Homo-oligomer: A and B are copies of this chain.
Amino acid sequence: MTTRVGIVGFGEAGAAIGAGLAEQGVPVTAYDLRFDGPDGRALRAAADRSGVAVAADIGSLASRAEVVLCLVTSAAAVAVAEALAPQLRPDHLVADLNSTSPELVRRVFDVIRPTGAAFVDVAVMAAVPPHRHRVPMLASGPGAARLATLDIGLQVEVLDGDPGAASAVKLLRSLLIKGLEALLLEFAVAAVPLGGADRVLQSIKGTLPTDWKELADYLLGRTARHGRRRSAELAQVAEMLRDVGVEPWLADAGARRLRWAAEHGLETRFRDRDPGSYQEVVAALRAAAAGADRSTPGAQ
């Protein structure tokens, strides 16, 4: 029997995964609160075009799927789990793809567990749209092995551990990537006006053999386009570190640095295109800062 998949939360990621599964013949049903809102008609039409059926409510979705993928926002995760729980049977598999904090995943698990349904914490390890349902996933919890063996084309790596373990790995990865991004940003806003930024990036190659200039271009490009979201991710990392008794000095500082960049209007400035270089990001920050802010680069 073909596995039937339900998708709760039909945003960018949910729609991309749904379309990918439907395209290879998996029966997919979606539900989103917004189906009944002002954009409902357009959203339902988009689902229809990609071969995804639309459920009238979350109960209908649960009755039409054995595997339920939750792709709602972190803020809605527990409420959605509470709405879903009464509809679940022990043969259901519920995968939480969107709760990035291990603590939140455990709260969702606490809601699902009494139903007897299997639960799995899924950390999505790359951007969904280009990969659709084949995006690399890291899974932990009682339902992880079952998710990995479903014959529907998912790319699942099973991680030993309870729900929360996969999300923890993802956040720890974010600490390094986004922390480095914030560090390079702080470096660049000081070094570009002082002169010698490229020289320093070049000189570091001796210690860390990576193309640091290319890395600065890439990571500050991510800041320019998605600084606010990436700052929020570092703030979640900080929360997790506090939960395990580590004061998140770097994580907090990094979140602050990326939020500072976002508050200087970078995402508006680079809405439609990536910046050409890290120097262009610094120039945009300096232009926006205009002397009002104590941390204005180059201001005395």
Can you tell how many copies of this chain the complex includes?
2
Q: Is there a chain B Cβ closer than 8 Å to A204's Cβ?
A: yes
Q: Give the size of the chain A interface in residues (CB under 8 angstroms).
A: 60
Q: Which of A156-175 contact B (CB under 8 A)?
A: 159-161, 165, 168-169, 172-173, 175
Q: Is there a chain B Cβ closer than 8 Å to A252's Cβ?
A: yes
Interface window among A56-64, A71-79, A208-216: A208-216
Instruction: Verify A173–B204 contact, CB threshold 8 A.
Output: yes
Q: Is there a chain B Cβ closer than 8 Å to A86's Cβ?
A: no
Say what secondary structure dominates the interface of chain A.
helix
Q: Is there a chain B Cβ closer than 8 Å to A268's Cβ?
A: no
Chain B proximity mask over A226-247: 1 for CB below 8 Å, otherwise 0:
0000000000000011001111
CA distance A2 to B168 in the complex (A): 64
Q: Which A residues are closer than 8 A to B by beta carbons?
A: 125, 159-161, 165, 168-169, 172-173, 175-177, 179-180, 182-184, 186-187, 189-191, 193-197, 199-201, 203-204, 207-210, 212, 215, 240-241, 244-254, 256-257, 294-300
